[in-house]
Amino acid sequence: MIGKFQLCSVKERIIKEAFKLFWRYGIKSVTMDDIAKDLGISKRTIYQHFPDKEAIVILVIEQELETQKCQMDKMDEDKLNPVAQMILGADYMRVSLAHMNPVVFHDLKKYHPHAWDLFHRYKHDYIIKEIRENLIEGVETELYRKDINVDMLSILRIEQVLMALDPEIYPADKFNMMNVQMEFVHHFLHGILTEKGFKYYTKYIEESATSITHEK
Amino acid sequence: MIGKFQLCSVKERIIKEAFKLFWRYGIKSVTMDDIAKDLGISKRTIYQHFPDKEAIVILVIEQELETQKCQMDKMDEDKLNPVAQMILGADYMRVSLAHMNPVVFHDLKKYHPHAWDLFHRYKHDYIIKEIRENLIEGVETELYRKDINVDMLSILRIEQVLMALDPEIYPADKFNMMNVQMEFVHHFLHGILTEKGFKYYTKYIEESATSITHEK
């Protein structure tokens, strides 16, 4: 049994280290050797737990999505109003993306279609549902315009998040990805707020750290 | 000389017919035989003017982009205010897309990368420039918020147009593409308008046929 716990623990350490390296350097440029070296273990030990790098990538992405899900569920429990939820959601994203090399998305899409697919399924099954609920609640509480099309705009919102991450659309040498994300969330909100909603908005952005900076 | 004019004219008729068939059925499903049959000419005659279907596709796209450019230049000459220009631009797009099968974009992207590339270059060299100028003028005339990031939002606007055309994002069985386009332009404008701009906006949407219908 002790052996089993140790194995578990090694597996977790591998995932944790891979996550750290992937987020810092992207996925393609990190090899099994790099992960082994950083952990001070042999490559053979890694292969005892994972058949290949793909298996590590998938587990890293699964865990990251699980963490994001937890964070969003926590926000739901806090029963914030829809405007605050949208701003805090963007704020959370800003923090979580701050430590991620944007090449991770590029590498996932290009070299790890299965893991990319996990991300896409999560987007469809979970995030769009969250955004949809936010929009519906906002309309019901008269914070958002009643003539918005909830289905169209919830897809638009999630696609905007992905768009800001795409270096082919917003090249990294010209745009700061997080500033693009922040510009989008504020533009998106302006696009749906009623006068009543706008008052809440002004209050929350003063309280929130989500300030738009127009650097770069 | 008469012979040359006749050749020219046949070439034009081929392009015109190909445009009509592509727009109606998409590019992939239209063969050289279809074009020849519809024109009542032999396939050999077509091959006298075009080495392959690819050459026809490219000329069709070039001519369509040229037409769009003319239309946009005409709008520029009319010296409309930025809000009216944005609404009329969307209106023009709505009319021009009304007769196009959305599969055209899918086929271009998948089977005719060179023609797709033309479209992308046009997007970058021409449309983004137009949108950028619109946004700058809107900010200068205090119709748009002065804190918008012109570079980020002009890219967002053009990407929204493409997004609405993408059946993987907005499946045709669930969404009417033109309604998505209209929802986007109105949301985009709401996102940037000042109070002053909003007054113009209300006036122009009453005048314009660009009404948002939330069918489907």
User: In this structure, which topology does domain A61-207 adopt according to CATH?
Assistant: Tetracycline Repressor; domain 2 (1.10.357)
Residue of A3, A216, A211, A207 lying closest to A90 (CA atoms):
A211
Tell if the CB–CB gap between A183 and B147 is shorter than 8 Å: no
Tokens standing for residue A137 = 């609640």
The per-residue pLDDT for A8 is 56
In total, chain B counts a number of residues equal to 216
The per-residue pLDDT for B103 is 84
Q: SS3 sequence, chain B?
A: CHHHHHHHHHHHHHHHHHHHHHHHHCCCCCCHHHHHHHHCCCHHHHHHHCCCHHHHHHHHHHHHHHHHHHHHHHHHHCCCCHHHHHHHHHHHHHHHHHCCCCHHHHHHHHHCHHHHHHHHHHHHHHHHHHHHHHHHHHHHCCCECCCCCHHHHHHHHHHHHHHHCCCCCCCCCCCCHHHHHHHHHHHHHHHHECHHHHHHHHHHHHHCCCCCCCCC
Distance, in Å, from the CA atom of A100 to the CA atom of A102, rounded to the nearest integer, reads: 6
Q: If pLDDT is split at 50, 70 and 90, which confidence band does B16 have?
A: very high
Tell me what percent of the residues of chain B surpass a pLDDT of 90: 55
- CA dist A177 to A36, A101, A159, A166, Å? 31, 10, 14, 9
Q: To the nearest whole angstrom, how far is the Cα of A24 from the nearest Cα of chain B?
A: 25
Q: Closest CB to A153: pick one of B151, B169, B187.
A: B187
Least confident range from A35-49, A198-212, B100-114, B135-149: namely A198-212
pLDDT single digits (tens) A129-141: 999 999 999 999 9
Mean pLDDT of the region B15-44: 93
Distance, in Å, from the CA atom of A115 to the CA atom of A119, rounded to the nearest integer, reads: 6
The per-residue pLDDT for A14 is 94
Check whether B67 has a pLDDT greater than 90.
no
Check whether A155 has a pLDDT greater than 70.
yes
Q: If pLDDT is split at 50, 70 and 90, which confidence band does B214 have?
A: very low
Closest-CA residue of chain A to B211: A147
Q: Which of B190, B211, B216 should we substitute to test contact with A (largest number of A Cβ atoms within 10 Å)?
A: B190
User: In this structure, which topology does domain B1-50 adopt according to CATH?
Assistant: Arc Repressor Mutant, subunit A (1.10.10)
Distance, in Å, from the CA atom of A160 to the CA atom of B157, rounded to the nearest integer, reads: 11
Q: Which residues 130-169 of chain A have a CB within 8 Å of chain B?
A: 145, 147-149, 151-153, 155-156, 159-160, 163, 169
Check whether B1 has a pLDDT greater than 50.
no
Check whether B198 has a pLDDT greater than 90.
yes
Cβ of residue A116 closer than 8 Å to a chain B Cβ: no
Mean pLDDT of the region A74-88: 84
Q: If pLDDT is split at 50, 70 and 90, which confidence band does B4 have?
A: very low
- Say whether the ipTM exceeds 0.85: no
Check whether B216 has a pLDDT greater than 50.
no
Q: Between chain A and chain B, how many beta carbons pairs sit less than 8 Å apart?
A: 70
Cβ of residue B201 closer than 8 Å to a chain A Cβ: no
- In CATH, the architecture of B57-207 is Orthogonal Bundle (1.10)
In chain B, residues with a C-beta closer than 8 Å to the C-beta of A149 are: 179, 183, 212, 214
In chain A, residues with a C-beta closer than 8 Å to the C-beta of B139 are: none
The per-residue pLDDT for A125 is 81
How far the first Cα of chain B sits from its last, in Å, is 55
Q: If pLDDT is split at 50, 70 and 90, which confidence band does A44 have?
A: very high
pLDDT single digits (tens) B148-164: 999 999 999 999 988 98
The per-residue pLDDT for A98 is 75
In chain B, residues with a C-beta closer than 8 Å to the C-beta of A170 are: 152, 155
3-state secondary structure of A165: coil
The per-residue pLDDT for B15 is 94
In total, chain A counts a number of residues equal to 216
Check whether A209 has a pLDDT greater than 70.
no
The per-residue pLDDT for A124 is 79
**For residues B184 and A156, is the Cβ–Cβ distance under 8 A?**
yes
Higher pLDDT, A176 or A150: A150
Least confident range from A143-157, B142-156, B165-179: namely B165-179
3-state secondary structure of A125: helix
The per-residue pLDDT for A215 is 41
Q: If pLDDT is split at 50, 70 and 90, which confidence band does A40 have?
A: very high
The per-residue pLDDT for A94 is 77
Q: To the nearest whole angstrom, how far is the Cα of A159 from the nearest Cα of chain B?
A: 8
Distance, in Å, from the CA atom of B213 to the CA atom of B215, rounded to the nearest integer, reads: 6
pLDDT single digits (tens) B109-141: 899 999 999 988 888 788 899 999 999 999 999
DSSP A51: S
Distance, in Å, from the CA atom of B105 to the CA atom of A161, rounded to the nearest integer, reads: 23
The per-residue pLDDT for B105 is 84
Check whether A150 has a pLDDT greater than 90.
yes
pLDDT single digits (tens) B73-112: 887 777 788 999 898 888 887 777 777 887 888 899 899 9
**For residues A184 and B156, is the Cβ–Cβ distance under 8 A?**
yes
Domain locations in chain A? 1-50, 61-207
Higher pLDDT, B6 or B189: B189
Query: Which amino acid, one-letter code, is at A28?
Result: K
Mean pLDDT of the region B20-45: 93
